Structure 1
Amino acid sequence: MFAFNFNNTTMHIFYGKAALRDYLKSIKTSNSTIGFVPTMGALHQGHLALMQKSLLENKNTVVSIFVNPTQFNNPEDLAKYPRTLEEDVKKLTALSPKIILYAPTVEDIYDGQPLSQSFDFDGLENQMEGEFRPGHFNGVGTIVKRLFEIVAPTNAYFGEKDFQQLQIVKKMVAKANLEVNVIGCPIYRESNHLAMSSRNERLSPHEREEAAIIYKTLTITKEKFQTESPESVTEWVKKAFENNTLFTLEYFVIADEETLLPSVIKEPNKKYRAFIAVFVNNIRLIDTISLN
């Protein structure tokens, strides 16, 4: 364990799972709860909002910072992913020194073998992100399951920007019979409505400003969806990005929120959601919006 002192406040930091488990065991009581926010660092206000919710709803809050190698299918993306642990610790301490930070090494998490477990998420893993990032959700399932086993949280908090990931984590918890309540939280956005992401730090000021087109497209999509077919709306989005020289559309999908299967027709009593992924200067950005 390491105790970080910042402005005369102290936060507990653990780099190994054994020490973290021992500490959590020592502070556990019959009615205490543990809230957990797993992150890959480069913390922004969206992450902090998840932590604030956990602090309000639980006696103890654990935050993990770990750039998980098994969920990156692009080695360049892994290499360039921002790592800002010192700044992250300052942000966490300013938010609440009562936060317990787990910042493990790859060795500590994977015991020397950073390999993914294979999961069956009942097809949720084959859509959208799964189609364009082979093996990604096996990596996500592997790290989240391991972190849940280490931290043993009562409640775990995930942002809805990664809605597909949220659904997959819920599926994994159900199929593995894990005793953790998975809570989805609203997307936190920048002033131009760009969904907050650690990858945004890699954007130039101009790219960041122009990225407002992503959410603007989604809001128009929502309006069009009320009177037009999913196919018609999808074609409109594709044409809109064909005329854009800065951003390249990787995918746009209107899907059933529960099954994540692409929707051809609108059915009553079903919830639909639009999902989008775009590239700008080899930086990949995703977003989503509920359509009804």
Structure 2
Amino acid sequence: MKTYSTAASLRAALNAGKRAGKTVAFVPTMGNLHEGHLRLVQRARQHADIVVVSIFVNPLQFGANEDLSSYPRTLAADKEKLFAAGAQCLFLPQVNEIYPEGMDSHSKIAVPELSDEHCGASRPGHFTGVATVVAKLFNIVQPDTAVFGEKDFQQLSVIRKMVRDLCMPINIIGVATARAEDGLALSSRNGYLNAEQRRIAPILHQVLQETREAIACGYDSYSKLEQHAKISLIKAGLESDYFAICDARTLRSVTPDTEEVVILAAAKLGSTRLIDNVTLNVNPSADWGMLAAN
């Protein structure tokens, strides 16, 4: 595995491979890698000859009071994991490589509607930061395929819309959420949890599953289900940010035309913000490309 710190050096290496007819898959990350990230690399290897992974803690997607300075950075361990997983290229840019004139004067990409609610409402500007850096990384790497986890369902939806809207010739692949044995979605932020919080954290997924089961059994008073779920989270010791039953395509309210439901949730344990989701096909005859339930 070779490491590149500049766009020019990475492009030169990838162009040589492309001239030889090789395909490229890309996995953008912010480091502190866990098994979920490595599954993305493994999926990428199935779709391309060359796998590029980036590690870049993107300051543009962090709010003023968020954990940018304390975000875990574990580069040495990350390199070992990526090498073992079979990544060929690691892109490791500094902030001034991505934003050479500073973030305030940098062009930005806004993806409307999908960015507005849920995490977008709780973290203003977050998805503009995500879309901007992902678009820039796509332009640097110019991959045939890019691979993302479905745990960040809204982020994946935003990226897919951006790629469609801007006519980027990139195949976006979503990979099912990796979980611990007790159901907790793997996340770089899980390391912030103390022992008691770690015991409580899986309840977020349990409540999501219970809500999905209620819908599957025909209960369709979604507002009541959302309210009940929030109360359950609070009783368990989690601070509910949002709990929303949505159309998986639009991330808006479920309608009679909805073919798949996604249940999105975010909650805090202490200072740690957890997100998770589950999906449910509500139209078995639909053939639009159902995502596997997490």
**TM-score, normalization: structure 1?**
0.91
Q: Which runs of 5+ in 2 are unaligned?
A: 282-294
Conservation of the 8 A alpha-carbon contact between 1:45 and 1:196? yes
Conservation of the 8 A alpha-carbon contact between 2:247 and 2:262? yes
Indicate which of 265, 269, 273 corresponds to 1:280: 269
1:100 maps to 89
Deviations 1:192-213 (A, max 9, x none): 1101110011111331222110
* CA distance in structure 1 between the partners assigned to 2:168 and 2:126 by the alignment: 21
Asked if 1:155 is matched to 2:145, the reply is yes
Deviations 1:165-200 (A, max 9, x none): 111101111111111111111000011110111001
| 1:118 Cα deviation after fit | 4.1
Deviations 1:250-270 (A, max 9, x none): 11001111111133xx52552
Alignment of 1:135-146 (within 5 A): 135-146=125-136
Cα–Cα, structure 1 residues 94 and 208, in superposed 2: closer, same or farther, change >3 Å?
same
* CA distance in structure 2 between the partners assigned to 1:117 and 1:289 by the alignment: 34
Indicate which of 249, 260, 280 corresponds to 2:251: 260
Asked if 1:26 is matched to 2:26, the reply is no
| 1:111 Cα deviation after fit | 0.9
Deviations 1:72-111 (A, max 9, x none): 1144411111011111001111222x52000100001111
| 1:242 Cα deviation after fit | 3.0
Conservation of the 8 A alpha-carbon contact between 1:106 and 1:112? no
* CA distance in structure 2 between the partners assigned to 1:60 and 1:81 by the alignment: 29
Indicate which of 48, 51, 54 corresponds to 1:61: 51
Alignment of 1:208-227 (within 5 A): 208-226=198-216, 227=218
Deviations 1:203-243 (A, max 9, x none): 11331222110111011001111322211211211221232
* CA distance in structure 2 between the partners assigned to 1:90 and 1:121 by the alignment: 35
Conservation of the 8 A alpha-carbon contact between 1:192 and 1:209? no
Conservation of the 8 A alpha-carbon contact between 1:155 and 1:182? yes
User: Which letter does structure 1 place at the counterpart of 2:205?
Assistant: Y
* CA distance in structure 2 between the partners assigned to 1:254 and 1:51 by the alignment: 30
User: Which letter does structure 1 place at the counterpart of 2:71?
Assistant: Y
Aligned residues: 278
* CA distance in structure 1 between the partners assigned to 2:123 and 2:66 by the alignment: 13
SS at match of 2:28: strand
2:234 maps to 242
1:45 maps to 35
Conservation of the 8 A alpha-carbon contact between 2:247 and 2:261? yes
SS at match of 1:261: coil
* CA distance in structure 1 between the partners assigned to 2:171 and 2:97 by the alignment: 25
Conservation of the 8 A alpha-carbon contact between 1:158 and 1:184? yes
1:194 maps to 184
| 1:112 Cα deviation after fit | 3.4
Conservation of the 8 A alpha-carbon contact between 1:117 and 1:139? no
Conservation of the 8 A alpha-carbon contact between 2:247 and 2:258? no
| 1:129 Cα deviation after fit | 0.8
Indicate which of 82, 86, 89 corresponds to 2:76: 86
Q: Percent identity?
A: 39
* CA distance in structure 1 between the partners assigned to 2:139 and 2:65 by the alignment: 27
Cα–Cα, structure 1 residues 117 and 75, in superposed 2: closer, same or farther, change >3 Å?
farther
| 1:271 Cα deviation after fit | 1.1
**TM-score, normalization: structure 2?**
0.90
SS at match of 1:32: coil
Conservation of the 8 A alpha-carbon contact between 1:141 and 1:169? yes
User: Which letter does structure 1 place at the counterpart of 2:226?
Assistant: T
1:170 maps to 160
1:233 maps to 225
SS at match of 1:80: coil
Compute the RMSD of aligned alpha carbons: 1.5
Q: Which runs of 5+ in 1 are unaligned?
A: 1-10
Runs of 4+ in 1 over 3 A off after TM superposition: 115-120
SS at match of 2:19: coil
